Amino acid sequence: MSNLKFSKEHEWIKLDGDIATIGITKHATEMLGDIVFVELPEKGSSLEKDSTAGVVESTKAASDVYIPVSGEVTENNQGIVDDPAKINADPEGAAWFFKVKIKNKSEIDGLMNKEEYEKFAKESNK
């Protein structure tokens, strides 16, 4: 999945035309531990880059999920709401969080590629 881009808030984003699929990284799930609750943005809601788009909760704590690009939510993944454990099982695949129709493609350019993110995650783990 080399076409993924990553944010400093540990979200991944995959662009397909002007639709971006967004989820949280494997590294994020490892930091959080077992995820037991997730709240996603409603379909149709318009979100600004870097604003809060949802919440994930592990047995230990709640963390906000941020949207790394501006856009309108076109779909959210009800499957992970019903069974949040799916997020730990396949965070960068089946357990995507939501899709947005992005406003400004150039916002993607500011994000990290896989290699950069892995380095960043390693550093922030120290």
Partner 1 sequence: MEIKKTPLFKLHTAYGAKFVEFAGYQMPIQYKNGVIQEHNITRTKSGIFDVSHMGQLFIKGKEELINDLEKILPTDLNKLSINQCKYSFLMKYNGGIYDDLIITKIEDGFMIILNAACKENDLKILSSVLENKYILNLREDLSLVAIQGPESKDILEKIIKGISNLKFMNGNKFNYKSTSLYITRSGYTGEDGFEISLPNNIAEEFVKKLIENGSALIGLGARDTLRLEAGLCLYGHDINEDTSPVEANLKWAISKQRLNSKFSGSNEIKKQLENGVDKLRVGIKPENRIIARESTKIFDKNNNEIGKVTSGTFGPSVKGPIAMGYVNNSHAKINNKVFLEVRGKKVPANICDLPFYKKNHVKGEANV
State the residues that interact with partner 1 by CB under 8 A. Answer: 33-34, 36-37, 39, 55, 57-62, 85, 88
Give the Cβ contact number of residue 72 at 10 Å: 15
For residue 119, with 0-12 CB atoms within 10 Å meaning exposed, 13-18 middle and 19 or more buried, which class applies?
exposed
Rounded CA gap, 101 and 99, in Å? 7
CB of 73 to partner 1, least distance (A): 18
Provide, rounded to whole angstroms, the least separation between the CB of residue 62 and partner 1: 7
C-beta of 60 vs 119, nearer to partner 1: 60
The C-alpha atoms of residue 58 and residue 5 are separated, in whole angstroms, by 24
Under DSSP, is residue 81 helix (H, G, I), strand (E, B) or coil?
A: helix
Nearer to partner 1, 21 or 76 (CB): 76
Q: What is the closest distance, in whole angstroms, from the C-beta atom of residue 49 to partner 1 in the complex?
A: 21
Q: Which is nearer to partner 1, 74 or 88 (CB)?
A: 88
